[in-house]
């Protein structure tokens, strides 16, 4: 199962209210919420899958996220589905906000035809939730590959609670008529899985 990315503005800029608390950390360090997870792996479970696919690639599979590579300008989180190590979430910083891309690989490490889609963070994080509407690159790719249904995709992550050591990480894909959420328990790190394909 593949998940799939620009925001332009014209005219005078509208002043943005000063950020406070966790929102301020998002502006000054986009990776602030992710850095405490670096090097750790966590088990997850699907909590929402609507409508459910007849060929569900997640059914009965062990789900693991591994915050594997943390650099000054990039954090990579492989998402393993059973023995399938094709997926990696890639977070980079742009203009003080996060960008999310999906790096999909084949077993031999080569890139899938549908890869590096995602988008830029929309606005400030709200209560630990970061949203990423599909950007122009992704929308063009979806149309080219006959996946028009994915054009309105909005991905999100949630890291909660905000005020203490987080206990839950959520990955979400939403579009009209579709909602998919995976929840990871951050209170119980697990042994690191093998590297992702191509990693």
Q: Is residue 16 included in any domain, yes or no?
A: no
In angstroms, the CA 118 to CA 136 distance is: 9
Cα-flanking dihedrals φ and ψ of residue 82, to 5°? 60, -125
pLDDT of residue 46: 96
Q: Is residue 30 included in any domain, yes or no?
A: no
Q: Is residue 90 included in any domain, yes or no?
A: yes
Which domain covers residue 163, as residue numbers? 42-185
In angstroms, the CA 64 to CA 77 distance is: 10
Q: Is residue 191 included in any domain, yes or no?
A: no
Q: Is residue 92 included in any domain, yes or no?
A: yes
163 band by pLDDT with thresholds 50, 70 and 90: low
Q: Is residue 8 included in any domain, yes or no?
A: no
170 CB-near residues (< 8 Å, 6+ apart): 47, 156, 157, 158, 159, 160, 181, 182, 183, 184
pLDDT of residue 52: 85
Report pTM.
Answer: 0.84
Q: Is residue 32 included in any domain, yes or no?
A: no
Q: Is residue 26 included in any domain, yes or no?
A: no
> Which pairs with CB-CB distance under 8 Å and at least 24 residues apart come from 163-170?
163/22, 165/36, 166/33, 166/36, 166/37, 166/128, 169/37, 169/42, 169/44, 169/65, 170/47
pLDDT of residue 162: 59
Mean pLDDT, range 44-66, rounded to an integer? 92
pLDDT in tens, 91-127: 999 988 999 999 999 999 999 999 999 999 999 888 8
Count of domains in the chain? Answer: 1
28 band by pLDDT with thresholds 50, 70 and 90: low
pLDDT of residue 180: 96
pLDDT in tens, 7-26: 233 333 333 333 433 443 44
């Amino acid at each position: 199962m593949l998940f799939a990315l620009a925001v332009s503005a014209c005219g005078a800029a509208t002043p943005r209210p000063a950020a406070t608390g966790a929102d301020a950390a998002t502006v000054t360090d986009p990776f602030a919420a992710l850095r405490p997870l670096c090097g750790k792996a966590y088990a997850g479970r699907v909590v929402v899958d609507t409508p459910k696919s007849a060929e569900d690639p997640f059914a009965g599979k062990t789900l693991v996220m591994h915050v594997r590579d943390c650099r000054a300008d990039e954090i990579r989180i492989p998402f393993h589905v059973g023995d399938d190590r094709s997926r990696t979430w890639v977070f980079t910083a742009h203009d003080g906000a996060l960008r999310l891309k999906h790096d999909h690989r084949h077993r031999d490490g080569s890139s899938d035809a549908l890869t590096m889609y995602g988008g830029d963070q929309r606005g400030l994080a709200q209560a630990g939730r970061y949203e990423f509407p599909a950007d122009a690159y992704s929308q063009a790719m979806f149309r080219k590959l006959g996946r028009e249904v994915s054009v309105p995709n909005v991905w999100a992550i949630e890291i909660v609670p905000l005020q203490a050591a987080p206990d839950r990480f959520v990955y979400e894909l939403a579009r009209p008529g579709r909602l998919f959420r995976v929840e990871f328990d951050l209170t119980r790190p697990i042994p690191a899985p093998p590297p992702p394909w191509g990693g």
